[in-house]
C-alpha cells in the first residue's frame, strides 16, 4: 500500500501483510488492524499525542463508542484527563477527504454527549483545533493543540 506523507512527524510503525492486506499494530488497542487510509491518519495522531504531547497511552481510547440520539456512534480518538474524564475528541479522515463543515458538525454531535473542552479534526494534512466555551456556547479555533 502506497501511503502518503502526512503533516506529522515521522513515526515507526510495526506492519505486516496478511491475506493480501497490510496491517499495522495499534499500540492503544494492542492488536494488528487493517491499514486503511483513515487508519494511517489515526495511527499518526496516536503517536503525535504520545510523543509530542506526552499523553499516556492509558489516557487514550481509539474507536470510543457512545450513544447519541438513541444511536451508537464511534469517536476515532478520545483523550482523558487525570480523573479519566474525556477532555479531547479527535475525528480522523483519510487524506483525500477534505475537512468540511460536515466533518466539524459530526464531531460537534459527539460532543453533545461527551461535553469535552477540546476538539481536533484532521485528514493528516490539515489539522483544526477548537476549544469550547460552554458558558457562551462558542468555539475558539486554536493554532496548536493545547492539552495542558
pLDDT for 90: 96
Q: And the C-alpha cell for 105?
A: 458538525
Mean pLDDT in residue range 52-66: 94
pLDDT digits (tens, 9 = 90+) for 10-19: 999 999 998 8
CA distance 65 to 98: 24
Return the closest-CA partner of residue 41 out of 103, 82, 95.
95
Does the domain at 17-142 match CATH 3.90.1570.10? Answer given as yes
pLDDT for 50: 97
Q: What global pTM score does this model have?
A: 0.92
CA distance 106 to 57: 25
Residues 3/44, Cβ–Cβ less than 8 Å: no
Going from N- to C-terminal start, the domains of the chain cover 17-142
What are the φ/ψ torsions at residue 58 (nearest 5 degrees)? -75, 0
Amino acid at each position: 500500500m502506497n501511503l502518503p506523507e502526512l503533516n506529522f512527524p515521522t513515526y515507526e510503525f510495526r506492519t505486516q501483510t496478511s491475506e493480501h492486506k497490510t496491517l499495522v499494530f495499534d499500540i492503544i488497542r494492542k492488536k494488528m488492524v487493517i491499514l486503511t487510509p483513515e487508519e494511517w491518519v489515526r495511527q499518526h495522531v496516536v503517536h503525535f499525542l504520545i510523543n509530542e504531547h506526552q499523553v499516556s497511552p492509558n489516557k487514550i481510547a481509539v474507536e470510543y463508542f457512545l450513544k447519541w440520539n438513541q444511536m451508537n456512534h464511534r469517536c476515532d480518538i478520545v483523550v482523558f484527563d487525570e480523573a479519566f474524564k474525556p477532555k479531547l475528541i479527535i475525528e480522523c479522515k483519510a487524506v483525500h477527504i477534505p475537512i468540511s463543515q460536515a466533518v466539524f458538525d459530526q464531531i460537534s454531535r459527539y460532543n453533545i454527549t461527551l461535553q469535552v473542552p477540546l476538539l481536533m479534526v484532521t485528514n493528516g494534512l490539515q489539522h483544526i483545533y477548537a476549544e469550547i466555551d460552554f458558558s457562551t456556547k462558542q468555539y475558539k479555533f486554536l493554532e496548536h493543540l493545547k492539552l495542558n
